[in-house]
């Protein structure tokens, strides 16, 4: 099996090389046979990498301890579920997994557009195969997962040896979320390769128009959705497993995943400027390039040890390869841009400061500023060493100081932007669209202030959240009322119809609403509390409205570990609300301990209890309890963001035939997206232009 | 043209605000990386800064005392005594021989008072390249040969 996988990867490398070569030749000669042949090579790469990955999974499942990678990341007692996840728990396997996910995307793209867009697809194929080639070089020649274990025998010759058992999977990774978080995040990282390939292909091929944007919109959203889910699952994993009471520490690896998300988010918004107004063409192309480069940079930061991080992989020789690849990609992008930049002339100019365009521009600017801030903060040790010779790191205060105001401004734009009209917006329509929501938002902030909440940013966040949520709700309501007035259906199904008519727009609103919930959750962090205490059975901790009563400490063996478990009764007043069982687990295979946090989560707050260990003096168990308000809103918001993206991915459902015919006759502009709407709202638009509706 | 100026002013305000925030945030907690060997030779002003020092935890050096944990960090052939006084429990990966990154201040008496300790268990992470084929930490036990 190891040989099969090994040769499959070798062959995949050859095929990718061929796809680049034949693809380039196909572009130069316009030979249809070569085009087809290069595409088939691209498809074959996917099948071969799948074979290689499957054989590595097989080696894990069959406990084949002749393989160095299997020994390093698995053991016999490891549950099957985690043997599967062990695939991506180390450097070599995760790079293979990366290649595999990318190849699945590439396969889908090549297969979906086979025989279509003949001016564009050969270029796309070459770019994609080029990226694959890089990762296949790593898989084959730099970090091959198919290495066997050997030791120098008495005569100096290397002899193979097979240990009786493996060293086990890192206990921190033995958690259900660790099985889904990396695939999600990697799917995000790799997914951004697709819009990148199309953007570069369109530029290289001097392919006119916005077609590459239309073609990649769904791919970008899929990648973005995976990236969002991956980041939030990672945060949740850190929260539920690492046991330090928080979910985000501005660790370089976290930052690495956030940066392409920021530029990707900017891209998803700024493409609308290009689609609707023919502006920002250069900007869009570079946003995609930057997003892809940040994905590669993220992979590099995680693996090279260039900045120290809690969960980075070992320092390894892989760094220079990534630096070389980033430099090469940047060089190609720059060359293509300089050569063909005439094709990216803007069709329009900015008309007014208060308009949809400018809100998009500010949104992009601010997302990019956030990204630059995170990037410079992450790389500060490297930069400062290069400039001043001393390696300096900036702590969480730096990231928080910069990003909290940026985040709040972004939240504000989330509410304002979608309701501003294209080109210019009158003060009257601003007042009509935002007046009520803004007032209620401020009122909510004032009420919170009177109730005793005094954290400035949290109050601003609350006001803005209420404001944005209300603007979104009123958008749905306004459109739905029009539909109800016209068709007589009840309000709820009117909302449904409205949404299905323009899934992109209303799905987008749902995503915005999810982000509002995430922000509300984040703002709770200002009010976190915690207490740590040695606890004998019977002793109590009071935290917030809860009283924790320690009942027993027991030891319980499990398949792959032994757990020490505390049984803690949670009282609210004198009423029992919950039993919590925080654990410390000991994993014999790698002689490591791990914590299993126990959380009682409500919408109001999380009671988060950690069995921190035993006190060195008294040998009493130490319990650390945290009270973290509103955390649940973050995960809830994440779910809504994913659902909203899914909604936006659905095709629009056409209106009923009669209605459509009428719309086409009377409302040629409103049936398409309104460009010069005063309010920008669908329902508003229809009412204003056709009072009979 | 006037619109461009307006827009430029808006952009300028944003950039200026963010830069100011960045400077303030940076001043709040800059942390300097030093190696154990560098410490005795630092200028007095530099030696008072908040810093991070990395090394390996010396075998058997961890002493848990009331309110603090003492241990010795080794690196580049030098030793550094550390007192961890932080509030959080030490990470599970903090054991004899693990790689640790301590953050805190270096006192005049040569002791390092750490408020944060991060640790990577050496065995958890992969061996440096080149070591892998020689058994990766396993003794060449003749009974286990394949």
Q: Are A582 and A569 spatial neighbours (Cβ–Cβ below 8 Å)?
A: no
Residues 6+ apart with CB under 8 A from B120: A310, B93, B98, B99, B100
Q: What is the DSSP letter of A140?
A: I
Average pLDDT, chain A: 86
The pLDDT confidence band at residue A214, using thresholds 50, 70 and 90, is confident
Instruction: Identify all chain A residues contacting B65, using CB atoms and an 8 Å cutoff.
Output: 616-617
Q: What is the pLDDT of residue B27?
A: 83
Q: Which of A244, A350, A610 sits opposite B7 (nearest CB)?
A: A350
Q: Are B6 and A353 spatial neighbours (Cβ–Cβ below 8 Å)?
A: yes
Distances in Å between the Cα of A254 and the Cα atoms of A258, A299, A521 are 6, 11, 18
Give the tens place of pLDDT for each residue, A625-679.
999 999 999 999 999 999 999 999 988 875 544 455 544 444 444 434 443 333 3
- Does A304 have pLDDT greater than 70? no
Q: From CA A635, how far away is CA A239, in angstroms rounded?
A: 11
Instruction: Identify all chain B residues contacting A365, using CB atoms and an 8 Å cutoff.
Output: 11, 14
Name the E strands within B86-143: 99-106, 112-120
Token pair 């087809």: residue: A36
- Does A454 have pLDDT greater than 50? yes
Query: pLDDT > 70: what percent of chain A?
Result: 91
Q: What is the DSSP letter of A154?
A: T
Q: Is the CB of A317 less than 8 angstroms away from the CB of B129?
A: yes
Q: Average pLDDT of A539-565?
A: 89
Residues 6+ apart with CB under 8 A from A581: A565, A566, A567, A568, A598
CB of B26 less than 8 A from some CB of A: yes
Q: Scan residues 36-75 of A and list those with Cβ closer than 8 Å to B.
A: 66, 68, 71-72
Among B67, B69, B66, which residue's Cα sits nearest to residue B111?
B69
Best to test chain B binding among A94, A152, A161 (most B CBs inside 10 Å)? A161
Higher pLDDT, B124 or B119: B119
Best to test chain B binding among A314, A363, A388, A625 (most B CBs inside 10 Å)? A314
Burial of A373 (0-12, 13-18, 19+ CB in 10 A): buried
Beta bridge partner(s), residue A606: A601, A628
Q: What is the DSSP letter of B41?
A: G
Give the tens place of pLDDT for each residue, A599-627.
999 999 999 999 887 776 677 888 889 99
Q: Which residue of B has its CA nearest to A157?
A: B134
Q: Are A472 and A411 spatial neighbours (Cβ–Cβ below 8 Å)?
A: no
CA distance B57 to chain A (A): 16
Q: Which residue of B has its CA nearest to A354?
A: B7
Across chain A, which distance is largest between two alpha carbons, in Å?
Answer: 96
Give the tens place of pLDDT for each residue, B9-68.
888 988 898 889 888 888 887 888 888 888 777 777 777 788 888 888 888 888 888 778
Q: What is the pLDDT of residue A373?
A: 93
Q: What is the pLDDT of residue A206?
A: 84
Give the tens place of pLDDT for each residue, A385-397.
888 877 888 878 8
Q: Is the CB of A395 less than 8 angstroms away from the CB of B29?
A: yes
The pLDDT confidence band at residue A225, using thresholds 50, 70 and 90, is very high
Best to test chain B binding among A368, A616, A618, A624 (most B CBs inside 10 Å)? A616
Q: Scan residues 108-127 of B and list those with Cβ closer than 8 Å to A.
A: 118, 120-121, 123-127
- DSSP element (H, E) containing A393: strand A391-394
Give the tens place of pLDDT for each residue, A334-390.
999 999 888 777 777 777 777 888 888 889 999 999 999 999 998 888 888 888 877
Q: Report residue A657 as tokens.
A: 């035939």
CB of A474 less than 8 A from some CB of B: no
Q: Which of B10, B69, B88 sits opposite A353 (nearest CB)?
A: B10
Q: Report residue B69 as tokens.
A: 């944990």
The pLDDT confidence band at residue A523, using thresholds 50, 70 and 90, is very high
CA distance A388 to chain B (A): 12
Q: What is the pLDDT of residue A682?
A: 37
The pLDDT confidence band at residue A308, using thresholds 50, 70 and 90, is low
- Does A184 have pLDDT greater than 50? yes
Q: Scan residues 71-100 of B and list those with Cβ closer than 8 Å to A.
A: 87-89, 92-93
Token pair 């960045």: residue: B22
Q: Is the CB of A365 less than 8 angstroms away from the CB of B14?
A: yes
Task: Return contacts of A316-319, CB within 8 angstroms, 24+ apart.
Answer: A316/A91, A316/A143, A316/B126, A316/B128, A316/B129, A317/A142, A317/B129, A318/A91, A318/A138, A318/A142, A318/A143
Tally C-beta pairs within 8 A across A and B: 160
Instruction: Identify all chain B residues contacting A315, using CB atoms and an 8 Å cutoff.
Output: 128
Give the tens place of pLDDT for each residue, A460-506.
999 999 999 999 999 899 899 999 988 888 889 999 999 998 899 99
Q: What is the pLDDT of residue A257?
A: 93
Token pair 């950039």: residue: B15
CB of B62 less than 8 A from some CB of A: no
CB of B24 less than 8 A from some CB of A: yes
Q: Scan residues 306-335 of A and list those with Cβ closer than 8 Å to B.
A: 308, 310, 313-317
CA distance A248 to chain B (A): 16
Q: Is the CB of A164 less than 8 angstroms away from the CB of B144?
A: yes
Best to test chain A binding among B33, B65, B115 (most A CBs inside 10 Å)? B33
Instruction: Identify all chain A residues contacting B15, using CB atoms and an 8 Å cutoff.
Output: 369
Q: What is the DSSP letter of A424?
A: -
Q: Are A594 and A585 spatial neighbours (Cβ–Cβ below 8 Å)?
A: yes
Q: Are A13 and A140 spatial neighbours (Cβ–Cβ below 8 Å)?
A: yes
Helix axes A91-112, A176-191, angle to 10 degrees: 50
Query: How would you classify the pairing of strands B78-84 and B112-120?
Result: parallel
Distances in Å between the Cα of A299 and the Cα atoms of A169, A255, A296, A379 are 21, 11, 5, 14
Best to test chain B binding among A308, A566, A597 (most B CBs inside 10 Å)? A308
Helix (H, G, I), strand (E, B) or coil at A301: helix
Q: Is the CB of A391 less than 8 angstroms away from the CB of B6?
A: no
Q: Are A150 and A102 spatial neighbours (Cβ–Cβ below 8 Å)?
A: no
- ipTM for this prediction: 0.73
């Amino acid at each position: 099996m190891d040989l099969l996988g090994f040769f499959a990867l070798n062959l995949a490398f050859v095929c990718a090389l061929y796809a680049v070569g034949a693809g380039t030749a196909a572009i130069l000669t316009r030979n249809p046979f070569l085009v087809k042949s290069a595409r088939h090579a691209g498809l074959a790469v996917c099948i071969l990498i799948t074979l290689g990955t499957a054989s590595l999974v097989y080696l894990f499942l069959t406990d084949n301890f002749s393989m160095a990678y299997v020994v390093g990341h698995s053991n016999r007692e490891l549950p099957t579920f985690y043997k599967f996840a062990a695939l991506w728990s180390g450097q070599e396997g995760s790079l293979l997994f990366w290649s595999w996910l990318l190849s699945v995307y590439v396969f889908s793209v090549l297969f979906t557009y086979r025989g279509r867009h003949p001016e564009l697809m050969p270029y796309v194929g070459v770019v994609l195969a080029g990226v694959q080639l890089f990762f296949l070089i790593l898989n084959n020649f730099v970090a091959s997962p198919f290495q066997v274990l050997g030791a120098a025998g008495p005569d100096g010759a290397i002899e193979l040896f097979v240990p009786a058992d493996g060293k086990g999977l890192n206990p921190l990774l033995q958690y259900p979320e660790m099985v889904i978080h990396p695939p999600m995040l990697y799917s995000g990282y790799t997914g951004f390769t697709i819009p990148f390939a199309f953007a570069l292909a369109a530029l290289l091929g001097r392919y006119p128009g916005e077609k590459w944007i239309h073609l990649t919109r769904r791919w970008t959203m899929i990648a973005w959705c995976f990236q969002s889910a991956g980041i939030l699952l990672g945060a949740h994993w850190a929260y539920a497993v690492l046991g330090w009471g928080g979910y985000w520490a501005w660790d370089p690896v976290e930052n690495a995943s956030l940066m392409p998300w920021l530029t990707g988010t900017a891209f998803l918004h700024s493409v609308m400027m290009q689609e609707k107004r023919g502006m920002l063409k250069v900007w869009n192309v570079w946003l995609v390039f930057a997003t892809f480069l940040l994905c590669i940079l993220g992979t590099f930061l995680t693996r090279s040890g260039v900045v120290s991080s809690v969960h980075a992989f070992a320092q390894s020789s892989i760094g220079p390869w990534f630096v070389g690849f980033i430099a090469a990609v940047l060089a190609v992008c720059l060359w293509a841009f300089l050569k063909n930049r005439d094709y990216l002339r803007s069709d329009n100019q900015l008309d007014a400061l208060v308009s949809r365009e400018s809100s998009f521009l500010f949104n992009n600017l601010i997302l990019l500023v956030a990204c630059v801030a995170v990037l410079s903060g992450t790389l500060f040790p490297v930069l400062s060493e290069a400039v001043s010779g001393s390696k300096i790191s900036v702590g969480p205060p730096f990231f928080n100081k910069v990003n909290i105001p940026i985040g709040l401004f972004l939240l504000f734009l989330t509410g304002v932007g979608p309701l501003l009209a294209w080109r210019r917006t009158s003060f009257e329509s601003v007042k009509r669209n935002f007046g009520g929501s803004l007032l209620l938002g401020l009122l909510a902030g004032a009420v919170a202030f009177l109730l005793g909440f005094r954290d400035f940013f949290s109050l601003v966040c609350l006001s803005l959240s209420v404001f944005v949520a209300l603007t979104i709700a009123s958008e749905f309501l306004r459109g739905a009322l029009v539909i109800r007035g016209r068709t007589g259906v009840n309000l709820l199904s009117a909302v449904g119809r409205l949404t299905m008519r323009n899934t992109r727009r209303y799905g987008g609103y749902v995503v915005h609403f999810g982000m509002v919930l995430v922000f509300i959750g984040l703002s709770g962090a200002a009010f976190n509390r915690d207490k740590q205490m040695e606890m004998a059975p019977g002793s109590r901790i009071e935290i917030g409205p809860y009283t924790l009563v320690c009942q027993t400490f027991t030891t319980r063996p499990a398949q792959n570990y032994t757990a020490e478990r505390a049984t803690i009764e949670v009282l609210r007043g004198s009423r029992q609300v919950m039993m919590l069982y925080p654990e410390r687990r000991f994993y014999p295979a790698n002689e490591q301990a791990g914590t299993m946090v126990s959380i009682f989560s409500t919408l109001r707050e999380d009671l988060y209890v950690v069995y921190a260990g035993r006190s060195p003096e008294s040998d009493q168990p130490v319990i650390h309890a945290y009270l973290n308000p509103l955390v649940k809103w973050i995960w809830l918001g994440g779910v809504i963001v994913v659902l909203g993206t899914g909604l936006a991915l659905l095709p629009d459902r056409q209106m009923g035939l009669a209605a459509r015919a009428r719309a086409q006759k009377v409302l040629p502009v409103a049936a398409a997206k309104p460009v010069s709407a005063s309010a920008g709202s669908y329902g508003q638009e229809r009412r204003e232009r056709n009072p009979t509706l | 043209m006037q619109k461009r100026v307006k827009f430029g002013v808006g952009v300028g305000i944003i950039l200026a605000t963010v830069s100011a925030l960045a400077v303030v945030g940076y001043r709040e907690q800059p942390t300097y990386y030093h190696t154990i060997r560098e410490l005795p030779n630092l200028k007095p002003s530099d030696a008072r800064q908040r810093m991070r020092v990395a090394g390996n935890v010396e075998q058997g050096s961890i002493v848990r005392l009331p309110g603090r944990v003492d241990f010795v960090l080794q690196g580049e052939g030098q030793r550094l005594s550390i007192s961890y006084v932080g509030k959080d429990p030490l990470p599970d990966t903090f054991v004899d021989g693990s790689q640790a990154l301590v953050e805190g201040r270096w006192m005049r008496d040569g002791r390092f008072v750490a408020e944060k300790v991060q640790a990577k268990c050496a065995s958890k992470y992969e061996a440096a390249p080149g070591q892998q084929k020689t058994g990766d930490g396993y003794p060449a036990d003749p009974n286990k040969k394949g």
